[in-house]
Structure formats: C-alpha cells, structure tokens
Structure 1
Amino acid sequence: MDFSLTDEQNELVKTLRAVLNRHAASAAVRSAAASVVGYDTDLWRTLAEEVGVASLAIPEEYGGAGFTWFETGLVLEALGYQLSPSPLLASAVLGASAILESAEEEPRERLLPGIAEGSSIATLAWADERGAWSTTGSGITATPGEQGPEQWTLDGAATLVLDGVTADTVIAVASTPEGVGLFEVLDAAAVQRVNTPAVDTTIRFATLTFNRVPARALQLDAERSLERIRDIAAVAVSCLQVGTAQRGLDMSVEYSKQRVQFGRAIGSFQALKHRMADMLVQVETARTTAWAAAWSAGTNAADLPERAASAAAWCADALDKVAAETVQIHGGIAITWEHDAQLVFKRAHSTSQLFGSAREHRRRLGGLLGIIPAPAAGAEPRRRQEALATL
C-alpha cells in the first residue's frame, strides 16, 4: 500500500501552506480566536471559494469537488499545523457526513451545495450532558408531530457542539421510541445556544437546548450511520492532531538552535537530541496511522472502524507527548500566553477528548479485534465535559 501523495494532493498541500502562511500567522490566529464567530471569516471565504476545502469530500452531484475524506484530512493537517481556527471540522466533516447519511435524496441536494461552497456552516448536535458521543442515543428526544409523519419535535440538550453558536444548519442526533435517528432542525433560530468556553481558544463549543423545536427526519434507524460518522470524525481529529504535533516538533527544533546555554546552542546537547528524535518518531508514526485511516474513510474500506480507532488512540497520545516535550524544551517561555507553545499544549488537551479518549478508542479497537469484550453502550467517562471546559 503506497501512501505517497499524488501531484494533485501535493499541489493542494502547497497551496494551503501558502495561503495559511500569508493569512494565519500567530497574531492572526489569536485575533481570529478572539472574534465573535471564533475564526477569520475572510480566510474561511478564501479557503472555501478559492481552494475549495469544504467541497473535497462532497460528491459532485451535490455541488462538491468529488474527492475523498483523505484530501479533507490533508487540509485538517495543514490547519492543525497553523493552529488556525476554522469551521471545517464542524461543517464539512460532521455536518456533511451526517447529511450524506440521509435516507432521502432531497436533503442532500438542498443542504450540501451551500456547505460545499462555504456559504452555509453546518454542525452536528450529538454529545449528551456527560459529553458522551453515543451511537445508541443522545440527550435529545424526538417526538412525532401532529402535522404528519415527516414532522417531528425535538426536546433536550446537546453539549460540546462544535461551532454551535454560529452554525445556520443544525443536524441533531435524537432518541426515538424505535431507536436513534438523525434530524434536520427546521427552525435553527428556535434553538437556545450558549457558548461553552474551552481550554483551547481556537475551538468553539456550545450547548444547544431544544424545546419543542420542529425537525425533519433524515434517517430513523441511524445507529450504523452514527458509527460511520464517529469513525470519520475520529479520523479528521487525528489528522488535525498530526499537523499540530508537527508544529510542536518544528518549534522545538528551531528554538533549540537559537537558545544558548553554557556557550552552546541547546540543540547540540545529546539529551535534547534524543528527546527531539523521539518526538520525530511520534509525529511520523502518527501521520502514517492517520493517513491509513483517512484512506480507509475515503475508499469506504471495511477496515475503517479498526483504523479509525487505532488512529484516534495513537495520534492523541502522540500529540500529548509532543506537546509536553515542546513545553519542556522551550523552558519557562512555553508557559506564557505570548508564546505559541501553550496553544500546542491546549490543542493536545482539547482534541484528546473529542469523540472519545485514547483509552476508549483502544478499548473499542480491542473489541473490534476480538481481544477484549466490546465496551457497553454509554460507558464513556463522565468527566469528558469537564476535561474540555475551561480550567
């Protein structure tokens, strides 16, 4: 199996790096994260309209570019390296993958073109009050409406909704008497939205509360669809983590060449060389694992669940280790707000809990491989929401 990039993919990465280097330097990233929407709208417009980042995994018949989740993973890796806030994960990954699972053609034809061109921002309301992304239910209940079988009402709440405050298209995971379903919220303005501050200021979460909000069913028997959406989301986060890990390594190597101690650059000390060599191993193995999982997602391979769980566990641990070493190598400067090392550390902390912890994914992988019993439904840690919230 050859994971070397094609000419088109190399050109995509090259273009992304050029755009991000111009428009997403450290000061720009901090300014975007502090803005009302949480990201640079001009940069997002450039990425969506000129590069087409939101359209890559959306089929051409729905206004997309007709590539795969692998190319989307490359974009996320570049964004992760730059630490740039973006609605790509919420909209073109979570929202789009949920809409693609619709049982009817009409919602795909109506909703996906706007997401592909970046003019519409979608999100998926899924995690319950414990911050658990269960494939068997959520904190939202769907009740059949009186206007007909196609009309439903949603009640309850979803936490940790990515870009939930600003999204204009909301897809909700809700429990029904027959099981779990996917629903399109018909009146997004009727949803109560509260911003949830996070450790990583470049990622925006929200709590969405539903009180008899009208909705349309996209799919009522959605457990298997949610398993696939979770796998795609885990792969996407893994790619984001790879990019951030590479940033931490590059920052550390550069600093070790500049910082002088005892009359020598600290990078010349053997102990630090060994530590940075270990960081390189973490980054490269994480990239290989993430790319393999992204390839399985892009080709709809049967081994996607195993590869997604493996990538989610390995990449989260790799970024944790690289971030910790980045802070140590930079010394006292790394804990200051002014230095970007703290952004790498906070990105590691936040993303290590998204869609399940590394421990959960390893347990799930063991179940898929038949090594250990599969985890019981709803067994996610109760403290994930606290881990993602502000310290």
Structure 2
Amino acid sequence: MFEERAALRAAVRGLLGGQIAADGMWARLCKEIGVAGLTVPEEYGGSGATLGEAAVVLEELGRVLSPAPMLGTVLAVHVLLESGDEETRARLLPAICSGERIVTAVWAGCVFPADTVLVVRDGTLSEIEGGIEITDSLDLTRPTGRLRSEDGSAPGLRDVACAALAAEQLGTAERALELTVAYVQERHQFGRPIGSFQVLQHRLAEAYVRVQAARSASEAAVQAVADGSADAPLLAAAAKITCSETLRAVAAEMVQMHGGIAITWEHDAHRFLRRAWATAQMYGSPESHVARLTPTLLSSPD
C-alpha cells in the first residue's frame, strides 16, 4: 500500500509540476491518473480505493493551492455510495470518474461551484442544478458559494469532509514551510543567510513540529474514517482543528520571513495565507469543533 500511494503521489506531483493555482488540470488529472474515481467502486468505472488514496491527492493539490474540485468530488462520491440510490449512482458515478461532470455535496451551507450539487434530506437524495450563489472569498484561488436552501446532511459526511480537508491543509502547510526554509537560506542580511539567525531557526523548528503533528492527526483521521471506526468523529474533528491551526501559523510565518515581498501580489505567500484562513472556516471553525467536542471529552472516563 505504501508503494502504491508513493507512486500515486509522484504521478500527481509530476503532473501538477509545482504550478501554483494552475487552471485546466482537472481534466488531465481525471484522464491520466483517474483521481476523480479513486473512491468509486470498480463497477462504476472507478478504482475502488479508499479515502487514504484520495487524501494523497488532496495533499498534493493543497501544495499548489489548486482549484481542482477534488474535495467536493470526494464528498459527492461518499453521499452517493451512502444513499442507496442505485439509479443516481449508475447515472452520476461514471461521469464523475471520467471528469465529464463535476459533482459536489453540500454541508453547512458551503459549496464549491459544480455541475450538480447533492443534498440529503431525511434520507432522500436530491440533486440541484445551478442556483449556487457565488460569494466573495478570501481565497482567490478557489471560488466558493452558498446554497441558501441547504439544510440536510448525510451519515458521516462531516467526518469525511473534515478528514479530507485536513489532508489538503496538511499539503498546503508542508509546502509553505518548504518554500520558507528555502527562502531564508537564499536571502542574505549582514553578510550571511537569514536562516543562520537563531531566532528564525527556532521559529522554523516550531513550524516543523507543528506540521509533523498535523500529519499525524490527518493520517489518523483519514484511516479512522476509511475504516468506519467509532473514533472517526473525534479524530476527524481533531484533525480539522490541528491542521487548520497549523496552516494558519505556518502561513503567517511564511509571510513574516519573506518580509515585504510577501505582501505583494507578485509573490505567492499571500495566497497561502488566504487559503489558510479560508479553509479554517470550512466545515466548522476550529473553535466550533472544540466547543462541540468539549462535553464529550470532559465526560470521558479516560
């Protein structure tokens, strides 16, 4: 499994080529690698893989702040497979796998622009074509919208959403740290690289520890959700909290250590910061998840 995921990561990273927020990649990702159908059963034209493989792709897309609709696709596939609606599955899943149709599932009102939006109300699956109100977004690399009529959910959808988004946030944080480490070794001040200053080394070391903790939280959540573990709700929320806070902290350090250049439109640092703050609010802010989990954790005998 490790070798297969490593090969998948290499293929996606090679195709993306390190291009920040590059448009037009979705069709190639679907056609050449089959990313849209990773979690779709083989009978519908997919790979029959798990959320673990999808998380690898989400990490790589997060590294380049890609606007590709992988996150929404993962949620849509989950909703379709959980719905038991065979007619809708047979009609939508093959089109999703090929990339011909972009489908997402809405939760908590936030939705990515798509051809079709899936909503589950009282166990009934509904399809909404269009009608998405595109909203102003802090993250200029990925437009989002709101469906005012949305009031439904699906079993486990929140856990899938939080775990999947955490994987994407992890990739973004890792890349932000890599770019910052490279920059402080190149930029000189007082005759030496600024990365040689102890205060910056300490801050970068703290950022590294944060990223490693975020990876542990993300991988635990993805595995728990994929396995249907009883701990999935707790681990998914913990991953969302940890990865959101890590990305915000690392992106802030990226801006600080890049100095004045980081606040210009010509540099990508502000894009990482925007993505950090925008994703932190998706599927519930870190603060809201802490408030939601606090009663459970306080009452736990452990």
Partner amino acid, structure 1, of 2:117: V
Contact kept? 1:192, 1:209, Cα under 8 Å: no
**1:260 pairs with one of 188, 191, 200:** 188
Q: Secondary structure at the match of 1:184?
A: strand
Q: Which has the larger radius of gyration?
A: 1
**2:62 pairs with one of 65, 80, 83:** 80
**1:324 pairs with one of 252, 277, 282:** 252
Q: Percent identity?
A: 43
Partner amino acid, structure 2, of 1:201: L
Task: Report the CA distance shift for 1:15/1:299 in structure 2 as closer, same or farther (over 3 A).
Answer: same
**1:120 pairs with one of 101, 106, 120:** 101
1:104 equivalenced with 2:46 (yes/no): no
Q: Aligned partners of 1:118, 1:304: CA distance in 2, in Å?
A: 29
1:12 equivalenced with 2:8 (yes/no): yes
**2:119 pairs with one of 169, 172, 177:** 172
TM-score of the two chains, using structure 2 as the length reference: 0.93
Q: Which has the higher strand share?
A: 1
Contact kept? 1:249, 1:326, Cα under 8 Å: yes
1:203 equivalenced with 2:142 (yes/no): yes
Q: How far is the alpha carbon of 1:299 from its aligned partner?
A: 1.8
* 2:32 alignment partner in structure 1: 50
Aligned residues: 298
Q: How far is the alpha carbon of 1:181 from its aligned partner?
A: 4.2
Runs of at least 4 residues of structure 1 off by over 6 A? none
Q: How far is the alpha carbon of 1:173 from its aligned partner?
A: 4.2
Q: Which has the higher helix share?
A: 2
Gaps of 5+ in 2: none
Q: Aligned partners of 2:53, 2:299: CA distance in 1, in Å?
A: 32
Q: Aligned partners of 1:51, 1:315: CA distance in 2, in Å?
A: 27
Q: What does 1:1-391 correspond to in 2, within 5 Å?
A: 6-21=2-17, 25-26=19-20, 29=21, 32=22, 40-41=23-24, 43-90=25-72, 92-126=73-107, 133=108, 159-163=109-113, 167-174=114-121, 180-185=122-127, 188=129, 191-208=130-147, 225-226=154-155, 228-371=156-299
Q: Secondary structure at the match of 1:101?
A: helix
Contact kept? 1:68, 1:299, Cα under 8 Å: no
Partner amino acid, structure 1, of 2:116: T
Q: Aligned partners of 2:187, 2:294: CA distance in 1, in Å?
A: 44
Per-residue CA deviations over 1:259-306 (Å, capped at 9, x if unaligned) read 111111100001100000011001111011101111112222221111
Contact kept? 2:139, 2:274, Cα under 8 Å: yes
Q: Secondary structure at the match of 1:288?
A: helix
Q: Aligned partners of 2:147, 2:218: CA distance in 1, in Å?
A: 31
Gaps of 5+ in 1: 33-39, 127-132, 134-158, 175-179, 211-221, 373-391
Partner amino acid, structure 2, of 1:65: S
